[in-house]
Every structure is written in structure tokens, then in C-alpha cells.
Amino acid sequence: MKPILAMAVNNTDENERYKYTHETITSLLENGIQFKSKIHIIVNGSCAKTLDFVKKLPIVIKVIINNENIGTARAINKAWLLKEPNQHCIKMDDDCVIKSSTWIEEMIEAIERQPKIGIVGLKRKDCTEYPGNPNPDLNSELLMLPHKMGQKWIIAEKQPHILGTCQMYNYKLLEMMGYLYQPGLYGYDDVIASHKSHIAGFINVMLPHIEIDHIDTGATPYQHWKEKTAGEVTQQVITEVNEMLQGIRPIYQSYY
């Protein structure tokens, strides 16, 4: 079954992000990802240029338009609400280019080889995790995934937190954690989901051999907004994650 791929878009005339969305979606189409997944573009109160672009996309891409910015998690959830039983789901940002046409198949195969994988992600070049890193939060572990005679070998990198730029969620994990959650409009949905995956008994991995470029240079006004918005809820996230780890707060998030 093709996975659902959901991408939240929030482009305004002020934040200057249209060019990233255009490049990201164009690269997906060039690699034929629309034939390998059910792509959903969720537009959060964006500029006329963005609306004009998404309305001209191939009909196989479902476009959901919100009149205001409802946040990343709630936007992604609108697409995931349409998921079918046993269907993996992908959360992808609109500011990256994946230099592969087989990354979806490779993510699915990783989960099929090791069903204990809750979240599998792609590793950006600005990530700092590696095996042996003296910082325990950045210390990762290389895993040889289960192999049968004649199959290619797959090496994954096990680590606590999977960056939200491009993630695939095992449908079995989604049955336990429900939908994405973030207390604000931006940030921490990936952090919270990674913790939920561990609490549910899964492991999280990245596939570092698949090349992905983060094309947002951080030079637009959007960068300041992201940092400010995420910073306002940091302490709340720490508190809520600790409550989940202690079993005080359930990991299941209903649709919202």
C-alpha cells in the first residue's frame, strides 16, 4: 500500500518561503514520488503565489487549504486523518530536496526488515549525531538490519530523536500514538513523536546513505519567527514529555 505523504506549507509575502516550497515539490514530481505515495499538500494561510502554484499541481496530489496558519502538526493530521489500516505515513517539510527516486521504497523496506522501527528518517548534512559522539544525546548506533540470502544489506543509524524534515511513521506506532502533537504553531512535533515511539517500545533510525539537502538557508524572516515560536513552548514540552515518561500523561493523541 502506498504511504500517505503529508507536507504543511506556510508561505506569506513576508516570510519569503515560496521558493523553497516550489523547489521541494518540483523535485518530488521529477523523481516520480507522486506515483509511489499519496501526496497531500496542506496550505496554511499562504500567499496568492503559493495558492496559484498548488492549484496547478497534478490531480493525483490532494491539496487541502486552510484560511489561517493552524500549525504544522494539525496540518499534517488533516492528511493523516485519511489514512487506511496498515498504511504508513510520511511527514515531510517543504524546504528540502531528496536526491533519490527510491527513498520511499527504502524506508518501507527498513520497517519491513525490522518491524520494531517506529520512525525512520533521512539524515540532513547539518545533523551532528554519529557513533561514539561524547554527547550522549548525539551518540548514535549503526544497525545491520535483518537480512536474507540474496537481499541487499541495509545499515541504519539508531538514535533517540529523528529530525522532522522527512520521517516515515510505522502504522503500528500510529495505532498507539495517534496523531502528531505540538503545543504551539511550530516545532517539537518530531521531538514529542520520537519520545512516544520509545515509550511504545519501538526504536528510531535514520538512513544516512540517502542524500537530502536542507535548502532553507535560514536567511529569511521566517527563521526568527520559528525560533521565537518554538522558544515560547520549550518548557511546556519538557514538562509534558517528562509526564509521558513517568506514565502520568498518555502518549495517544486524538485528532485535533
Span 79-99, average pLDDT: 97
Q: Which of 158, 194, 187 is nearest to 173 (CA)?
A: 194
Dist CA 229 CA 184 (whole Å): 7
C-beta of residue 145 within 8 angstroms of C-beta of residue 77: no
Question: Count of CB atoms within 10 A of residue 202's CB?
Answer: 22
H/E/C letters for each residue in 16-69?
A: CCHHHHHHHHHHHHHCCHHHCCEEEEEEECCCHHHHHHHHCCCCCCEEEEECCC
Residue 59: what pLDDT? 94
- How is residue 128 written as a grid cell? 551532528
The top-level CATH class assigned to 4-245 is alpha beta
Q: Of 12-16, 21-25, 96-100, 109-113, where does mean pLDDT reach its minimum?
A: 12-16
- Across the range 98-126, mean pLDDT stands at 97
Q: What is the pLDDT of residue 219?
A: 86
Identity of residue 6:
A
Residue 221 CA, distance from chain mean position: 23
The predicted-structure confidence for 178-203, as pLDDT tens digits, reads as follows 999 999 999 999 999 999 999 999 99
pLDDT tens digit sequence for 8-49: 999 999 998 999 999 999 999 999 999 999 999 999 999 999
pLDDT tens-digit series, residues 36-85 = 999 999 999 999 999 999 999 999 999 999 999 999 999 999 999 999 99
Residues 6+ apart with CB under 8 A from 154: 106, 109, 110, 113, 144, 145, 147, 207
Q: What is the mean pLDDT of the chain?
A: 96
Which pLDDT belongs to residue 86?
A: 97
For residue 220, pLDDT beyond 90: no
- Each domain of the chain, given as residue ranges in start order, spans 4-245
Question: What is the mean pLDDT of the segment spanning 103-131?
Answer: 97
Q: What is the pTM of this model?
A: 0.96
